[in-house]
Amino acid sequence: MSAVTPNLALLQTLARLSSYAGAVSLALLLLVSSAHRAAAQSVWQPSAGHAQIPLWPGEPPSARAGVGAEAVHYAVEEGSSIRKLIGGKPYVYIENVTRPTITIYSPTAGNNGAAVVVYPGGGFNVLAMDIEGTEVCEWLVAQGVSCVLLKYRVPCQHVGAYRECPSAHQDAQRAMRIVRSRASEWKIDPRRIGVLGFSAGAHMAIMSSTRFDRLYAEVDAADRSSSRPDFALVLYPGRMAYRHSGFRQNPAIRVTAKTPPTFLVHAYDDELNPVENSLLYAAALRKAGVPAEVHVYAKGGHAFGLRRTGLAASGWPQLAEAWLRSIGVIGK
């Protein structure tokens, strides 16, 4: 396998063109796949102009050996068929993350001081770094909100009946503490820092919203900052409950009055993470007196991110913007 890094912008452009080209679409997508297979990117890197910093100064806590080398992939099969398209485009995912990072995306104009730490999904096995990561940051910075994209450790060693991922939760806490400790440097209001997660990342957002005791030994002064988010956006979460156990609520999730205001999105036809996950969490928020806004769409399936799919679920970002205005995160 070549060590040459593929031209990500070119591949994404080809993928965009593919949605308009009929038979040419398949040829272009196969070209994307072939280019990627021939020149795999070994470690995910942000586009130019965005600072990426290590999450931990040394070995992360609960480090896992024998994971393998980090690698970036396009969700397109080599050969004659397409494995997965969302909104007419393939998506990028990374695997075998052992050195977690955060990448800072700052608004180029109109910075309003708010920030969001974004947790991509991927079942705690991989990370969907564009559809649930970089594309989300592009949307946030357009609203004047700084975006902090967390590349957390995967795959993880699942724990317990609800398959928790302790290393991911440690990474999430550490990311929030670093952002809050460096808020002045990054022109962020430390009282307006939220989290946004998708699928497994949405479960991380729930855990971040309900558990603030540090899950690892103090590393440096940043760990003296609070890990509690000021607001949360939670999209198609899992691990709140499972169908096979009669949708009994995960006992590790304890919603209290300290849980931040939350915006929830789910599709009724989501077979991977049934809608009961969001409904149970919404009910727990209501019982605790925590403000919440809940949107359940009839159709949307799973893992639609911000991409336009032709379904009503694609309109959630506009509703989220209105909600962020209503709680004072972005301007009126």
DSSP annotation of 130: I
Pick the range with the lowest mean pLDDT from 24-33, 124-133, 177-186. 24-33
pLDDT on residue 108: 86
Task: Fill in the DSSP letter of residue 126.
Answer: E
Is there a domain that residue 332 lies in?
no
Predicted pLDDT of residue 84: 66
Q: Reduced to 3 DSSP states, what percent helix, strand and coil does the chain have, rounded to the nearest 5?
A: 30, 20, 50
Which pLDDT score, from 0 to 100, does residue 25 have?
41
Whole-number pLDDT of residue 85: 72
Q: What is the domain extent for residue 114?
A: 43-63+98-326
Grade residue 28 by pLDDT with cuts at 50, 70 and 90: very low
pLDDT of residue 310: 87
Cα separation, 203 vs 195, whole angstroms: 11
Which pLDDT does position 19 carry in this prediction?
A: 41
Q: Is the peptide bond before 155 cis (omega within 30 degrees of 0)?
A: yes
Domain count, the chain: 1
pLDDT value of residue 247: 86
Confidence (pLDDT) at 161: 77
Instruction: Give the pLDDT confidence score for residue 33 in this predicted structure.
Output: 43
CB 253 within 8 A of CB 210: yes
Query: What pLDDT score does 71 carry?
Result: 93
Bigger pLDDT: 40 or 3? 40
| HSE, side-chain direction, 13 A CA sphere, residue 295 | 20
- Residue 197, φ and ψ in degrees, nearest 5: -140, 155
Q: What's the pLDDT score for residue 1?
A: 29
The region of weakest confidence among 75-84, 108-117, 181-190, 210-219 is: 75-84
4 falls within a domain: no
pLDDT in tens, 125-158: 999 999 999 999 999 999 999 999 999 999 998 8
Sign of CA dihedral 299, 198, 241, 280: negative
Measuring CA to CA, which residue among 49, 37, 94, 89 is closest to residue 67? 94
Locate 45 and state its tokens. Answer: 């890197």
If you average pLDDT over residues 178-182, what whole number do you get?
98
- Please name the helix (run of DSSP H) or strand (run of DSSP E) that holds residue 308, with its range, or none: none
The predicted structure's pLDDT at residue 41: 63
Structure tokens at 310: 């032709």
88-125 per-residue burial string, b: 16 or more CB within 10 A, e: under 16? bbbbbbbbebbebbbbbbbbeeebbbbbbbbbbbbbbe
Mean pLDDT of 107-125: 95
Packing angle between helix 166-181 and helix 200-210, nearest 10 degrees?
60
User: Is the predicted pLDDT of residue 74 greater than 90, yes or no?
Assistant: no
In a domain, 103, yes or no: yes
- 75-91: per-residue pLDDT in tens? 764 443 445 677 778 88
What is 247-290 written as a DSSP string?
TPPPTT----TTSPPEEEEEETT-SSS-THHHHHHHHHHHHHT-
220-240 tens-digit pLDDT: 999 999 999 999 999 999 998
- Give the residue-averaged pLDDT of 96-111: 95
Give me the CATH number covering residue 161.
3.40.50.1820
When pLDDT is cut at 50, 70 and 90, the band that residue 168 belongs to is very high
* 3 state SS of 45: coil
Tell me the C-alpha distance between 41 and 130, whole Å. 14
Confidence of residue 42 (pLDDT cuts 50, 70, 90): confident
Comparing 232 with 14, the larger pLDDT belongs to: 232
Of the listed ranges 4-18, 63-77, 275-289, 293-307, the least confidently predicted one is 4-18
Most confident of 25-34, 68-77, 196-205: 196-205
Q: Note the pLDDT of residue 83.
A: 56
Q: Could you tell me if residue 76 is inside a domain?
A: no
pLDDT the model gives residue 160: 81
pLDDT of residue 246: 83
